[in-house]
């Protein structure tokens, strides 16, 4: 049995501003809740508060059943370290003690106190359930990586893809002892087959799950309720994602109507006070009515207005592009060594082409080659006349932007004044972060800044590698609207099924190295 209950939660930023203000909600036993909201609204912070990693300024958090946490960013070290990272705290602590005892014994193997400490550490690790959990980890390692735990426990995480790491962590959490799971963007780095597995695993689990995700299809398939963080508070839609947009619209209308009624009543009370003040100046009999009206107005204003409807996100992407030759991309017997067998294709001006396939099939390498990077290949990959590529990198690794403020980047690279740069950032809702270095921006902010730079560059071929991975729901929809009006060619790698449905046709990169063309998205080759 596991549940989460948050009551009147307030959390203040280091500068004293409230990020969350009297937020309350409950996720009952066995429920599957999705946590959504704009980038920077406080979703990850809320998960950390529930996990006990942060302390609120006010309010109360209650839970039962033990909490397992998957963080947004992956760790370092070995496979064992990764699995310990999602183990219950008592196992982590016992494992740390055991590791220290092993090190001490190795340094003084004939030291009796060290031997006794090591024996005690083994017993404590067993009592904490460490060895029982290692049996579970063996199943997890076999399912996720195809190897038994003992064989790979010391393997460096650097040798695993992001998708392999995520799958291993998810297997361990879903099979582990904790009854409440907090999953921060568990679908990032997963290909579609892995996302479909995750959807089935969440639906089929008896555990209580609270997850953050920007994948609209995963939200639709896995969540039975939606918890929204916006406007410094939280509200809950008790149905699935299919009805969420309508529920949000109706809620906004209710809040606006209540606010208007309150404003109308305040105006009426102020008029009454004003009228009675004037009349009581010449009629002492009305003095009592005037004071009563003043008291009523003061009490009404002291209680304060009802909650204001949260400001709608207004990300406006003006992707322009330009005319090019009829053939934008020409591939002739192109082979990416060790990844793709030779294939030929042509992509025409104005097409929106999806590059689909499992992780590790060469999709990102293909885009990087077209972007001009030195990717080992044979055959030919050429761009057509007047085609200027712009590349969106999935990992957001941009050494050229490190240490540079967002506004400074826009000014320097596109010869803009500060006012012009801030206006452009404002269209992407990045103006408040204009002075922050690139690496301190959230994943969603980094993604929006990269898209803005593509817009300003005037690229006529957009090479987009998982562009919606870190975008919140409104930003992902803004990108789709921006691409509809884009005068140019789009080639995009994506595992976002909602996003992929808007594309014209698809190149399917198979696990067998073959590239196939399709008019429908395919995820199973």
The arithmetic mean of pLDDT across residues 122-148, rounded, is 93
Host domain of residue 296: 246-303
Which is nearest to 475 in space by CA: 498, 450, 447, 500? 447
pLDDT of 394 above 90: no
pLDDT of 479 above 90: yes
Are 377 and 501 in a shared domain? yes
pLDDT of 425 above 80: yes
Determine the Cα–Cα distance for residues 448 and 468; give it in Å rounded to an integer. 10
pLDDT tens track for 342-354: 999 999 999 999 9
Q: Is 317 helix (H, G, I), strand (E, B) or coil?
A: coil
In Å, how far are 3, 95, 333, 366, 408 from 401, measured between CA atoms? 43, 40, 35, 23, 10
pLDDT of 511 above 70: yes
pLDDT of 291 above 90: yes
Whether residue 309 lies inside any domain: the answer is no
Containing H/E element for 462?
A: strand 461-465
Whether residue 469 lies inside any domain: the answer is yes
pLDDT at residue 235, as a whole number: 95
pLDDT of 156 above 80: yes
CATH code (residue 197): 3.40.50.300
The arithmetic mean of pLDDT across residues 97-117, rounded, is 82
pLDDT of 397 above 90: no
pLDDT at residue 229, as a whole number: 94
Are 47 and 92 in a shared domain? yes
Whether residue 340 lies inside any domain: the answer is yes
Are 229 and 255 in a shared domain? no
Are 280 and 386 in a shared domain? no
Whether residue 50 lies inside any domain: the answer is yes
pLDDT of 525 above 70: no
pLDDT tens track for 86-98: 999 999 999 999 9
Q: Which residues contact 128 (CB under 8 A, 6 or more apart)?
A: 88, 90, 91, 93, 94
Determine the Cα–Cα distance for residues 241 and 216; give it in Å rounded to an integer. 8
Token duo for residue 226: 């939606």
Per-residue confidence band for 143, with pLDDT thresholds at 50, 70 and 90: very high
Token duo for residue 22: 């009297």
pLDDT of 395 above 70: no
Determine the Cα–Cα distance for residues 365 and 339; give it in Å rounded to an integer. 9
Containing H/E element for 268?
A: helix 244-280
pLDDT of 465 above 90: yes
Are 255 and 271 in a shared domain? yes
Paired sense of beta strands 208-212 and 32-36, if any: parallel
Are 169 and 266 in a shared domain? no
pLDDT at residue 524, as a whole number: 67
Number of domains in the chain: 3
pLDDT at residue 396, as a whole number: 60
Determine the Cα–Cα distance for residues 434 and 412; give it in Å rounded to an integer. 13
Which of 205, 221, 245 terminates a domain? The answer is 245
Q: Which of 93-107, 217-231, 261-275 has the lowest mean pLDDT?
A: 93-107
Whether residue 315 lies inside any domain: the answer is no
> Cβ(46)–Cβ(21) under 8 Å?
no
pLDDT tens track for 212-252: 999 999 999 999 999 999 989 999 999 999 999 999 999 99
The arithmetic mean of pLDDT across residues 10-24, rounded, is 91
In Å, how far are 328, 337, 363 from 354, measured between CA atoms? 15, 22, 10
The arithmetic mean of pLDDT across residues 264-268, rounded, is 95
Whether residue 318 lies inside any domain: the answer is no
The arithmetic mean of pLDDT across residues 123-139, rounded, is 93
Are 174 and 72 in a shared domain? yes
Which of 225, 245, 265 terminates a domain? The answer is 245
Are 396 and 452 in a shared domain? yes
User: ∠ at Cα 311 (307, 315), nearest 5°?
Assistant: 165
Are 368 and 466 in a shared domain? yes
pLDDT of 290 above 70: yes
Whether residue 524 lies inside any domain: the answer is no
pLDDT of 74 above 80: no
Are 288 and 410 in a shared domain? no
Which is nearest to 361 in space by CA: 191, 143, 187? 191
Q: Name the one residue in this structure whose structure tokens are 């568990």.
A: 186
Whether residue 115 lies inside any domain: the answer is yes
Are 405 and 504 in a shared domain? yes
Are 195 and 292 in a shared domain? no
pLDDT tens track for 353-377: 999 998 888 999 999 999 999 999 9
pLDDT at residue 176, as a whole number: 93
pLDDT at residue 109, as a whole number: 64
Q: What is the pTM of this model?
A: 0.83
Containing H/E element for 295?
A: helix 287-303
Per-residue confidence band for 412, with pLDDT thresholds at 50, 70 and 90: confident
């Amino acid at each position: 049995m596991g549940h989460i209950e948050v009551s009147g939660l307030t959390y203040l930023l280091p500068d004293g501003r409230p990020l969350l203000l009297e937020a309350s909600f409950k996720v009952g036993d066995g429920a599957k809740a999705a946590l959504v909201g704009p980038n920077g609204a406080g979703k990850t912070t809320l998960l950390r508060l529930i996990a006990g990693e942060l302390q609120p300024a006010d309010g109360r958090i209650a839970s039962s059943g033990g909490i397992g946490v998957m963080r947004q960013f992956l760790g370092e070290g070995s496979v064992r370290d990764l699995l310990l990272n999602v183990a219950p705290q008592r196992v982590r602590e016992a494992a740390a003690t055991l590791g220290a005892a092993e090190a001490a014994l190795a340094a003084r193997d004939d030291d009796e106190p060290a031997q006794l400490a090591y024996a005690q550490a083994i017993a404590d690790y067993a009592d904490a359930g460490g060895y029982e959990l290692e049996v579970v980890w063996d199943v997890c390692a076999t399912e996720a990586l195809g190897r038994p735990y003992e064989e790979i426990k010391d393997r460096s995480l650097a040798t695993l893809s992001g998708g392999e790491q995520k799958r291993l962590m998810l297997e361990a959490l879903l099979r582990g002892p904790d009854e409440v799971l907090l999953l921060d963007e568990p679908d990032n780095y997963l290909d579609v087959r892995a996302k479909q597995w995750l959807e089935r695993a969440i639906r089929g689990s008896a555990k209580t799950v609270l997850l953050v995700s920007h994948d609209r299809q995963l939200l639709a398939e896995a969540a039975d309720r939606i918890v929204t963080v916006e406007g410094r508070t939280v509200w809950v839609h008790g149905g699935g994602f299919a009805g969420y947009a309508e529920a949000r619209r109706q809620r906004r209308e209710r809040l606006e109507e209540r606010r208007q009624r309150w404003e109308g009543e305040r105006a009426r009370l102020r008029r009454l006070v004003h009228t009675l003040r004037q009349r009581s100046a010449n009629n002492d009999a009305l003095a009592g009515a005037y004071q009563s009206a003043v008291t009523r107005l003061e009490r009404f204003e002291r209680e304060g207005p009802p909650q204001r409807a949260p400001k709608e996100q207004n990300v406006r992407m003006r992707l322009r592009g330009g005319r090019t030759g009829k053939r934008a991309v020409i591939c002739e017997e192109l082979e990416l060594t060790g990844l793709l067998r030779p294939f030929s294709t042509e992509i025409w001006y104005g097409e929106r082409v999806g590059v689909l396939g499992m992780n590790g099939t060469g999709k990102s390498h293909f885009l990087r080659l077209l972007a001009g990077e030195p990717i080992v290949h044979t055959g030919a990959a050429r761009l057509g006349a007047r085609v200027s590529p712009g590349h969106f990198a999935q990992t957001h690794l941009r050494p050229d932007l490190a240490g540079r403020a967002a506004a400074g980047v826009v000014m320097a690279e596109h010869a803009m004044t500060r006012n012009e740069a801030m206006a452009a950032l404002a269209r992407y809702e990045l103006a408040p972060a204009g002075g922050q270095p690139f690496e301190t921006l959230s994943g969603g902010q980094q993604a929006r800044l990269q898209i803005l730079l593509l817009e300003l560059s005037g690229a006529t071929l957009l090479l987009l590698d998982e562009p919606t991975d870190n975008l919140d729901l409104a930003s992902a929809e803004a990108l789709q609207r921006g691409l509809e009006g884009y005068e140019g060619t789009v080639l995009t790698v994506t595992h976002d099924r909602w996003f992929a449905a808007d594309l014209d046709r698809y190149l399917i990169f198979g696990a067998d190295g073959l590239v196939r063309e399709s008019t429908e998205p395919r995820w199973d080759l």
